[in-house]
Structure 1
């Protein structure tokens, strides 16, 4: 009888543990992988703010994955990444969208009125991209770029051909580009960089976009949130939040400037979230 009683007790305990295990497994939330473009300050700022909201308000762990733009799009399409909040459309990442639009879901813009193009110090006597050919001696026939796979780099190569410019496009990185810009500003030397807005450099320096009458760089763009289709099943609350998450004009600037001034991106994101609880509430309700 004692043996039978022990067997019954053990069986009951095993069943309870099994049920508990199933319950814990069912309640465990998956880690959300978000890809962002390393060196793009707006991408870093937006991704960190979104990640911290997902972690602090929705209870999911988030893994931020720094990648090049092409790898980012491919990762979301394949499911290696769940989402990106760094899809510049319709021009900058237009080729990626055409390649992967059947394998991803666009949840809409998180930032409107974005722009890419060629940027120079505001005090220089040059107004359009076409004016650069006559000024090539002044600029050393070079344009300081970022990572080679970036959309703005592809468009700059097209612009060099479209405007017949005898210039060399110099690939580097976002941080290397801004470092060279800083040196040129300090020395009061002319420089042309590939760039985009939103970016902290417009708050720190007096800069201007060169007019692009041939519209090689396109009109104003929007930065969209693009996800893998499976994320809706994997984490419905995350998708609901991402659909609502959108910056108002000027909001992202303080986050970008804080990180540029040495604050860690996570800390800058937490500070912004703490100071804008009403905005965050509107995203997660």
Structure 2
């Protein structure tokens, strides 16, 4: 046992629950401005700092910077990569330098979304109804930042369906503010959205059918890290591999944050009410 402890100390590891855990527990987590990404990043920051002694820095950056940063070691991990389609173009140039780990959410959605009161069901129909979907005087699709995967897919959809609309790119909060304003007035609006997202709990919305499959099929969300992190901290990797959420748990976390108005405070309040679920992740990792 003494010899094993010496080896673990020499390599910067200690044992916790039978798994090796890194002594240097400072981590930089790359995040982006998607609602679920903000939610889970703040949740894990609280769990790892307050209960397991980590020092977590959340760094909010663009999608392309996230992948290059993971590949060169500027970031240690990130909690969200959509596969096999949406984020594949971002991963491909760095595939040999980034480790993609287990799925924590299954069954995503992605596409163009309108309020359920809108008399339209398919992206095809936007071609003839474009004049109804004006924003600041022009037929428009409201989207998020131009570097996001969904923004690129929306440009593909505009071309594939020959839509006489422009994509207006802004931040996620700005897009949601425009959606809320239109929704309260029961005005037509089309936005780019994804599931999971708290908006589907707050508003009655529907995806427009995508007969050409531009936005792809349902996908899975994995967590990812710089190369070798799992070997350096197998305890952390095991816990994150055991982490699973569904529409109820993730939707509840995002809704709490939205209600409280602060990601850290909202995540802390949700954690206090969901220890049974959280304990199951840590128990599974340490069993």
1:46 and 1:143 mapped to 2: Cα distance?
28
Relative to the length of structure 2, the TM-score reads: 0.86
Give the structure 2 partner of residue 31 of structure 1.
26
Aligned to 1:230: 228
1:77 aligns with one of 42, 63, 71: 71
Q: Is the 8 A contact 1:54 1:238 kept in 2?
A: no
Give the 5 Å matches for 1:6-21.
none
Alpha-carbon displacement from aligned partner over 1:173-204 (angstroms, at most 9, x marks no partner): 10010000011112221000011111111111
Deviates more, 1:186-195 or 1:241-250: 241-250
Q: How many residues align?
A: 262
Aligned match of 1:155 in 128, 144, 153?
153
Structure 1 residue aligned with 2:254 = 256
SS at match of 1:195: strand
Match of 1:192 among 174, 177, 190: 190
User: Structure 2 residue aligned with 1:90, among 63, 84, 93?
Assistant: 84
Q: Deviations over 1:15-61 (max 9, x none)?
A: xxxxxxx99x88752311111112x1110111111222222333211
**Contact 2:99-2:228 within 8 A present in 1 as well:** no
CA-to-partner distance for each residue in 1:67-107, whole Å, 9 max, x for gaps? 11111111111111111112122222120122222111111
The yes-or-no answer on 1:115 pairing with 2:109 is yes
> Partners of 1:92 and 1:37 in 2: how far apart?
15
Structure 2: unaligned runs, 5 residues or longer: 1-8, 15-22
Separation in structure 2 between the aligned mates of residue 197 and residue 42 of structure 1, nearest angstrom: 9
Between Structure 1 and Structure 2, the one with more helix by share is 1
- Kept in 1, the 8 Å contact 2:25–2:53? The answer is no
* 1:130 CA drift (Å): 0.8
As a proportion of its length, which structure holds more strand?
A: 2
Please show how residues 120-269 of structure 1 align to structure 2 within 5 Å.
120-140=114-134, 141-269=139-267
